[in-house]
Structure 1
Amino acid sequence: MTSSYPCTLCCRPTTMWCSRCQRAWYCSAQHLETDWPRHRRECLASSAITPAPYQLVAGTVSMVPQLVTVTGLLFSPEQERPHVVTVHCQPAQLPQQGVCPTPLVQDFFTDSQPQSVVLTQGLNGDSLRFPLHLFYCPISLARGAPVNRAIYRITSGAAPKAWCGPVLVLKFNGSRKQGYSDASTNDLPALSAYFLNYK
């Protein structure tokens, strides 16, 4: 099955991709070369044997799922503010309507396998159009350390119980939770309300 994707530089439909990472699409070798100073920072080899440094490959695109990237908010215990991070998501092996990609979040959690909770309500109990998916470290919460300074700061220290350990927040692209969109600092009020009510 042949599919075309938009060129990373000009959005013209193309079936050619960077052979090194196989995740960036270009309509010509010139566009890959032009974009290479930016793309090289995100170009991760898809296998141990890679062309150096890149080349454009044309051909039929199979329906093998490609990693999807979104931005999330990372609340690190040692930082005063949350920061925006890139999170890769693995789509389902077989494309199916309504199946949400799996976020690859383990690298953000060194102590244990993260657990998650979905926030569907924001301030004053209003429903969120775009629910928030929080990943956290259950071991840090159980032992009560380290206190998350970024969360302490956004709640002005008014929460009845301090949140501990790292937290990663992703935003669903709608109430049906079939995919993710980019999270941003605009999501902080709903998150602050959640952390203020945590007991």
Structure 2
Amino acid sequence: MNGNSSIIHHPCTLCCRPTSMWCSRCQNAWYCSPEHLQSDWPRHRKECLAPTPPPSHVTIQTPPPAIPEIIAVSAILFVPNQERPQIVSVNCQPTRSAQPGSCPSPMIRDFFLESQPQSIVLTQGLNSEPLRFPLHLFYCPISLSRGSPVNRAIYRITSGAAAKAWSGPVLVLKFNGSRRQNYSDAGTNDLPALSAYFLAYK
């Protein structure tokens, strides 16, 4: 049973005493107590079908929440057997249950067929300068640990001077700001910061 002191009092269906409480299922039958609703239930359940607002109230229906749309951003892909990195499109799915302002999830499974990728966030660029737009690197830890062939695209942008050779695919997305709430398009202007990172990684 529901009640509200601002509602006009109606007579109880059983005893006619004024009440502001009604059957919460249909909101059409008025009762002064839960006991009276229970007593009248064998009769009332036959008419208690669907919620219908009381005549003295206006119900406003709100539309269902919008389903977030998938967004596509440009990312940098270092393919192991190619000499140059590629610019590829990555779909990002906004998370439905997350708090407002949380970053969407990139759909990157097709780029990492060997295993589940791991990721790191690069926040510093050349000369340890903070990056205004941090870079999100995804890589295959199995490829690094088992000595897969060296990633030729990374080898090329570091001129082979990296302390540790990178193996397997590497995918780089770019955050749209330091709060990391969304992604924006990554491009070739992000390569110097990536090169510095690959050179320094041990």
Alignment partners' CA distance in 2, 1:153 and 1:70 = 25
The reply on whether 1:167 has 2:170 as its aligned counterpart is yes
Number of equivalences: 140
**Greater CA radius of gyration, 1 or 2?**
2
Amino acid in structure 2 at the alignment position of 1:114: P
The reply on whether 1:68 has 2:71 as its aligned counterpart is yes
Helix, strand or coil: the match of 1:150?
helix
- Which residue number in structure 2 is paired with residue 183 of structure 1? 186
Alignment partners' CA distance in 2, 1:64 and 1:95 = 13
- Which residue number in structure 2 is paired with residue 81 of structure 1? 84
- Which residue number in structure 1 is paired with residue 200 of structure 2? 197
* Structure 2: gaps (5+ residues): 1-62
Alignment partners' CA distance in 2, 1:103 and 1:157 = 30
* Structure 1: gaps (5+ residues): 1-59
Helix, strand or coil: the match of 2:190?
helix
Deviation at 1:146, TM superposition (A): 1.8
* TM-score, length basis structure 2: 0.67
Deviation at 1:70, TM superposition (A): 0.3
What are the residue-to-residue correspondences of 1:107-146 with 2, within 5 Å?
107-146=110-149
- Which residue number in structure 2 is paired with residue 92 of structure 1? 95
Amino acid in structure 1 at the alignment position of 2:160: G
Alignment partners' CA distance in 1, 2:65 and 2:101 = 21
What are the residue-to-residue correspondences of 1:13-92 with 2, within 5 Å?
63-92=66-95
- Which residue number in structure 2 is paired with residue 34 of structure 1? none
Deviation at 1:115, TM superposition (A): 0.4
* TM-score, length basis structure 1: 0.68
Amino acid in structure 1 at the alignment position of 2:147: G
Alignment partners' CA distance in 2, 1:127 and 1:165 = 27
- Which residue number in structure 1 is paired with residue 108 of structure 2? 105
Deviation at 1:145, TM superposition (A): 1.1
Deviation at 1:134, TM superposition (A): 0.2
Deviation at 1:161, TM superposition (A): 1.5
C-alpha RMSD over aligned residues:
1.4
Alignment partners' CA distance in 2, 1:104 and 1:153 = 27
Helix, strand or coil: the match of 1:119?
strand
- Residues 74-115 of structure 1 show CA distances to partners (whole Å, capped at 9, x for unaligned) of 000000000000000110114742210000111000100000
Amino acid in structure 2 at the alignment position of 1:128: L
Counting aligned pairs with the same residue, the percent is 70
